[in-house]
Chains A and B, each alone.
Chain A
Amino acid sequence: MAIRERLSGNEAVATAMKQINPDVVAAFPITPSTEVPQYFSQFVANGSVDTEFVAVESEHSAMSACVGASAAGARVMTATSANGLALMWEILYIAASSRLPIVMPVINRALSAPINIHNDHSDSMGARDSGWIQLYSEDNQEAYDNIIQAIRIAEHKDVQLPVMVCMDGFIVSHAVENIELLETEKVKEFVGERELEDYLLNAERPVSMGPLDLPPHYFEHKRQQAEAMKNAKKVILEIAEEYEKLTGRKYGLFEEYKMEDAEVAIVVLNSTAGTAKEVVDELRENGVKAGLIKLRVFRPFPVDELKEALKDLKAVAVMDKADSFSAAGGPVFTEIRAALYDVEDRPEIVSYIYGLGGRDVRVDDIKKVYDDLKEIVETGKVESVYNYLGVKE
């Protein structure tokens, strides 16, 4: 029987970590990090986990300690947010390239400057090329479920890559909502033990990790890393299926909401998807064939599956809570537009950058996007491809 609870997003994630009981958590437990290491350090202090908690002096050190512990053979987790993630940058790449299955909740928040602690996706979107798998979560339940699945995804022998589990700062991290938890024994059984082939503390089979890798081999290692990311897609789906059997909750690469006969749709990540589903329901009541795609897995990017899901639409809006400053649309938009390149009669596609620095996303904002899509379908014309939603100008 599932445990009915009410927890904030941060509490939900910390609870998942408690149930997983990792060998090592290295984290910087104050701002710009999150309440997650704070809660987790309490679990360590009161003995409800036997994790080695390493309180470090910076996020750069946090990820460095995670790399060392994971290479040594430990199951390792940490958590961060915003500028904390930015300070980890150099080591994010080292964790991924060294094929270390570290799992890290990322509480999505804006990057400075100007100083802003509120939600957007600039932090994790900036890390999209670091080689980490990225899972996004609509609410506390999905964040909790994704963390548990992430352990298995990261450690799978065909993957061996670190995973970020993203959720919206404040909107989810600090909001108390209902959640269903698994019993700790079930979580422990699901995640099992980390199975290792090579690790630094294995005296039987000594190995080096992270040495100098010059032109004769570096490229081959990158090619293997790319293959691992490709493999991750299949593994993510297999583990989701197993998790569904355990919980009844279904996960995929993305969620399709009322897409069967949709003519217009929004693609969006995280908590805005919930607000947008309300709008879809309302539009459907008024006869508008509206749908929604909520991307769960952004890395690896489900290019073929998205192409298939979007190809029959007349118009698509991709909403980005990050501006990559390419001056040509947000990061999710550019990749989705590229995914549709091969479609013969492809839908019109427009970009909306929204919600930066915690600007609230209202039902009316989402309605406006669907209205714009309807107009594109009716007139057959796209007035503006690159749009900013809810900004004062």
Chain B
Amino acid sequence: MSKEMIEIRWHGRGGQGAKTASLLLAEAAFSTGKYIQGFPEYGPERMGAPITAYNRISDEKIRIHSNIYEPDYVVVVDETLLKDVDVTAGLKKEGAVVINSAKNPEELRSLLNGYEGSIYTVDARTISMDTLGKYFPNTPMLGAIAKVTNIMEEEELFKAMEESFQHKFATKPEVIEGNMEALKRAYKEVKGSER
């Protein structure tokens, strides 16, 4: 397996847009010339049910077609999942988990089944309410994971995402600005307890 490949696992709840966020991240990485995979694990598609989505990002063609069991990074879009789902299962120690929470990273470590690696948090709820007026945590989480993985330059990311949003929200352009603001704030505000 290519050593340069980054594997990311997203945990969210149905309706929060974790699948969309994984696809947008793939798209942003694609725009910088990378090989990408973005795919959800389809289960019962119920609002609020735990869902999983995945990204692979590489400089070489990606051939593997299985789910991700030993991710480099984990994104937790909904803090309440920490009680129900072993989000750090298989997560590499030298990797990181990025959680949507107003808390400081170390306050969450006790909920992570002994995970020894880096923890990052970002208050996606506040950012989303401030910028969009509604709770859509996926765009801020996208900004946070892009910062933590450092898969592309800040300017590249913002440019790629603006294009994606213009495409995705072609019928409601009024939300593009808010989403860009959410992305940028999360990129700046994500805070880490690095190991």
Q: Which are the 10 A-B pairs with shortest beta-carbon distances? A: A175-B39, A274-B63, A271-B65, A176-B38, A6-B30, A360-B67, A274-B65, A275-B64, A362-B66, A178-B35
Residue of A nearest to B65 (CB): A271
Is the CB–CB distance between A275 and B27 below 8 Å? no
Shortest B30–chain A CB gap in Å is 5
Contact partner of A178 (CB less than 8 A), chosen from B1, B36, B42, is B36
CB within 8 Å of B: which residues of A? 6, 117-118, 139, 168, 170-172, 174-178, 271-272, 274-275, 277-278, 281-282, 360-363
Is the CB–CB distance between B37 and A175 below 8 Å? yes
Is the CB–CB distance between A274 and B64 below 8 Å? yes
Shortest A277–chain B CB gap in Å is 5
Interface flag for B14 (CB, 8 Å): no
Convert B26-45 into 0s and 1s, putting 1 for each residue whose CB lies closer than 8 angstroms to a CB of A: 11001000011111101000
Contact partner of B36 (CB less than 8 A), chosen from A174, A176, A278, is A176
Cβ of B30: which chain A residues have Cβ within 8 Å of it? 6, 178
Cβ of A278: which chain B residues have Cβ within 8 Å of it? 1, 63-64
Give CA–CA (A170, B38) in the complex, Å. 11
Given known pairs A6-B26, A6-B27, A282-B1, the reply for A174 and B66 (CB within 8 Å) is: no
Interface residues on chain B, size class? 20 to 34
Is the CB–CB distance between A176 and B39 below 8 Å? yes
Shortest A325–chain B CB gap in Å is 26
Residue of B nearest to A173 (CB): B39
Cβ of A274: which chain B residues have Cβ within 8 Å of it? 63-65
Residue of B nearest to A270 (CB): B65
Interface flag for B169 (CB, 8 Å): no
Convert B137-161 into 0s and 1s, putting 1 for each residue whose CB lies closer than 8 angstroms to a CB of A: 0000000000000000000000000
Is the CB–CB distance between B64 and A363 below 8 Å? yes
Give CA–CA (A282, B63) in the complex, Å. 13
Cβ of B69: which chain A residues have Cβ within 8 Å of it? 362
Is the CB–CB distance between A272 and B65 below 8 Å? yes
Cβ of A281: which chain B residues have Cβ within 8 Å of it? 1
Is the CB–CB distance between B42 and A361 below 8 Å? no
Shortest A271–chain B CB gap in Å is 4
Is the CB–CB distance between B37 and A177 below 8 Å? yes
Contact partner of A117 (CB less than 8 A), chosen from B38, B42, B65, is B42
